[in-house]
Amino acid sequence: MKAVVSMEYDIIEKVNEVAAAGGSLEDRLERAARLFAEEFHFDQCLFFLAGSGGALKLAAASSGLCTTGVLCYGKGEGLPAVAMEKGGLVEAQKEPGRAEWEGVPDPGLEGVSTALVYPLGGGGSFSGVVYLKARERTSLSPARKDLLKVASLQAALMIRNAVLLEDHRRAHAELLAMQEKLASSEKLLALGDMAATMAHEIRNPLLSLGGYAARLKRQLPSGSPGLVYIEKMSQEIGRIEKIMNGIIRFLNDNLAELKTDDLNCIVDEALDIFADEFSAHGIAVERRSVHAPLTVLADREQMKIAFDNIIANAIQSMEKGGALKVVTSRSGDFAVAEVSDTGGGIDPEHIGYIFNPFFTTKKHGTGLGLPIANSIITRHRGGIEVRNEGRGASFTIRLPYSGAASVSSDLLPAEAGRVV
């Protein structure tokens, strides 16, 4: 008698072993399904787990019974709904060829003479059901039904623990991401202090260079070939001053000066700045706009800094030549700019760090360009994503589309493209 009782309760120990085993929840549920079918002498056992909207989805099944393949029960459908509403065991004995029990339709009953359904959980909170099926009429003794209840509670605990573990892993991953963002923020604060110091050191020589350029321009005769270079020098000095002012304004956490603008024009101005470098490095530029105007609220100088850094990064990856493709378009509520290069892409091990301040794989890089671009775009309530595509990398920048009727600059045609 003791041996019989021991055999009866073997399933409890076996379910515990399955719950404690490694592997995915799906694998463990499949093992549990085979165990339930074998120990309770049914032809098939299935586990349905609760999903969105109260639906139940098939998570695991033992083999051995050819019935209608029911993969999902909607809310309130079939015997699983009856079992969860009842909060206990549902035992169905039915006539062959019918797919209902006591007026409850259930396509899973086709080809079945006996079915047992027990909810997984308790207290009105259920994670799903265990569904046992047999071709022939069969029944369980009261003791075996109690055993099924205990085994089902163990399976419910296994499911609950797996869900908690997944929630813990997700929370841990989110915590690590927040820690990385905090570390990046601390680096940006240090960068702000450094940039503020550098600005004072750079501005004085810039003022001197600007003054010397203006004085030299006055001394050169009209028509002198050198005037072109002096004029270019003055423009570049002015641009450096604007860039420094923009960086300082950004790093000091001042609000961006948002004005109605056209993203097409901002991108085009950024590209024009690098015309000489494109030529020097043998880089072919394809510029396309599939929507104009692309009206956004932006601080033009800051956004140009962002695009300058992205384009400069692309040029550095194509020192021996290549192709740069820049496409602007509208996607829903966002104006989108996609900058793609053929520079070989980004090492997958590094792609998650390229927006971290001071992270760089270049010998002479500072690791500041892309983090600054990311922060400026984020300040504009936009986002930037990077992925490896084809022979290079592709940066996708999204800014909220403002939908304003007018902008301050000339617009591109609605469908336009040009190759430099």
Which string of DSSP letters, residue by residue, matches 86-132?
Answer: HTS-EEEE--TT--EETTEE-GGGTT-SEEEEEEEEETTEEEEEEEE
Residue 144 class from Cβ within 10 Å (0-12 exposed, 13-18 middle, 19+ buried)? middle
Residue 127 class from Cβ within 10 Å (0-12 exposed, 13-18 middle, 19+ buried)? buried
Tokens of 79: 């015997």
Cβ burial 14-46 (10 Å sphere, 16+ → b, else e)? bbeebbeeeeebeebbbbbbbbbbebbebbbbb
Helix pair 300-317, 226-251: axis angle to 10 deg: 110
Query: What is the CB neighbour count within 10 angstroms for residue 308?
Result: 20
pLDDT in tens, 357-366: 667 777 656 6
Q: Is the domain defined by 174-251 classed in CATH 1.10.3470?
A: no
d(CA 329, CA 377): 17
Question: What are the backbone angles phi and psi of residue 298, rounded to the nearest 5°?
Answer: -150, 155
pLDDT (0 to 100) of residue 409: 39
pLDDT in tens, 132-160: 999 888 889 998 999 999 998 989 889 88
Range 375-400 average pLDDT: 90
Partners of residue 260 on adjacent β-strands: 297
- What class is the 2-169 domain? alpha beta
* Residue 81 or 375, more confident: 81
User: How confident is residue 163, by pLDDT bands cut at 50, 70 and 90?
Assistant: confident
CATH number of 259-419: 3.30.565.10
Domain boundaries, the chain: 2-169, 174-251, 259-419
Q: Is the pLDDT of residue 416 over 60?
A: no
d(CA 334, CA 61): 45
pLDDT in tens, 90-131: 999 877 667 788 888 998 888 888 999 999 987 778 899 999
Q: List strand residue ranges (DSSP E) for 266-407, in order.
A: 283-289, 295-298, 322-331, 334-341, 383-389, 392-400
* Residue 265 or 244, more confident: 265
